[in-house]
Amino acid sequence: MLKAVEIKPDVFWVGGVDWNERNFHGYTTERGSTYNAYLILDEKITLIDTCKRPFVGELIERIGTIVDPAKIDYIVSNHVEMDHSGGLPEMAAIAPNATIVTGAPKGVAGLTAHYGEGLNLLGVKTGDTLNIGKRTLTFVQTPMVHWPDSMVTYDEYDQILFSNDSFGQHYASSKRFDDEVGLPEVLVQAQKYYANIVMPYGKNVEAALKALASLTFDMIAPAHGIIWRSHVPEILAMYRKWSSGEPDEYALVVYDSMWHSTEAMAVEITEAFVEMGIPARLLDLKVNHISDIMAEVLIARYIAVGSPTLNKTMMPTVSAFLCYMRGLAPAGRVGLPFGSYGWAPMGPNEVYQQLESCKFTLPEAPFTHQWVEDGEGLNHLHDAVVDFVSLFHDKVQ
Would you tell me which residues interact with ligand FMN (CB under 6 A)?
A: 257-263, 308-312, 340-344, 346, 371
Active site residue 25: yes
In the complex, what is the shortest distance from the CB of residue 311 to ligand FMN, in angstroms, rounded to a whole number? 5
83 as an active site residue: the answer is: yes
* Alpha-carbon separation of residue 352 from 324, 345, 349 (angstroms): 15, 11, 5
Q: Of residues 58, 83, 178, 256, which has the active-site annotation?
A: 83
Clarify whether 289 is annotated catalytic.
Answer: no
Q: Which residues contact 362 (CB under 8 A, 6 or more apart)?
A: 334, 335, 336, 337, 352, 355, 356
CA distance 198 to 192: 10
- Cβ 196 vs Cβ 27: under 8 Å: yes
SS3 386: helix
DSSP SS3 for 308: coil
Which of residues 20 and 311 has its CB atom nearest to ligand FMN in the complex?
311
Nearest to 131 by CA among 40, 13, 12, 215: 40
User: In the bound complex, what is the minimum distance in angstroms from residue 19's beta carbon to ligand FMN?
Assistant: 39
Kindly tell me which of 327 and 342 has the beta carbon lying closer to ligand FMN: 342
Nearer to ligand FMN, 19 or 371 (CB): 371
- The active-site residue out of 224, 231, 369, 393 is 224
* Least distance to ligand FMN, CB of residue 285, Å: 12
**Nearer CB in complex with ligand FMN: 191/262:** 262
Q: Using the minimum distance from each CB to ligand FMN, give the nearer residue, 233 or 342.
A: 342
Cα 272 from Cα 385, distance rounded (Å): 7
- Report in angstroms how near the CB of residue 264 gets to ligand FMN at its nearest: 8
Q: Could you report how far apart the first and last alpha carbons of the chain are, in Å?
A: 58
Distance CA 272, CA 378 (A): 10
Alpha-carbon distance of 228 to 222, in angstroms, equals 8
Whichever of 240 and 312 has its CB closer to ligand FMN, that residue is 312
Catalytic residue among 35, 42, 146, 341: 146
Cβ atoms of 59 and 91 within 8 Å: the answer is yes
**Amino acid letter, residue 18:** D
Q: Which residues pair with 161 in a beta bridge?
A: 154, 220
Q: How far is the CB of 342 from ligand FMN (least distance, A)?
A: 3
Catalytic residue among 193, 239, 255, 352: 193
Task: Look up 128 and say whether it is catalytic.
Answer: no
- Catalytic (active site) residue 250: no
369 flagged as catalytic: no
Instruction: Report the b/e string of 44-77 with b at 16+ CB within 10 A.
Output: bbbbbbbbbbebbebbbbbbbebbebeebbbbbb
Nearest to ligand FMN of 166, 309 (CB atom): 309
Q: How far is the CB of 339 from ligand FMN (least distance, A)?
A: 7
Sheet holding 334-341: strands in order across? 280-284, 248-255, 300-306, 334-341, 367-370
| 170 a catalytic residue | no
Q: How near is the Cβ of 260 to ligand FMN at its closest, in Å?
A: 5
Amino acid found at 127 = G
> Is 61 tagged catalytic?
no
| Active-site option among 18, 42, 149, 165 | 165
Annotated active-site positions, please?
25, 79, 81, 83, 146, 165, 193, 224
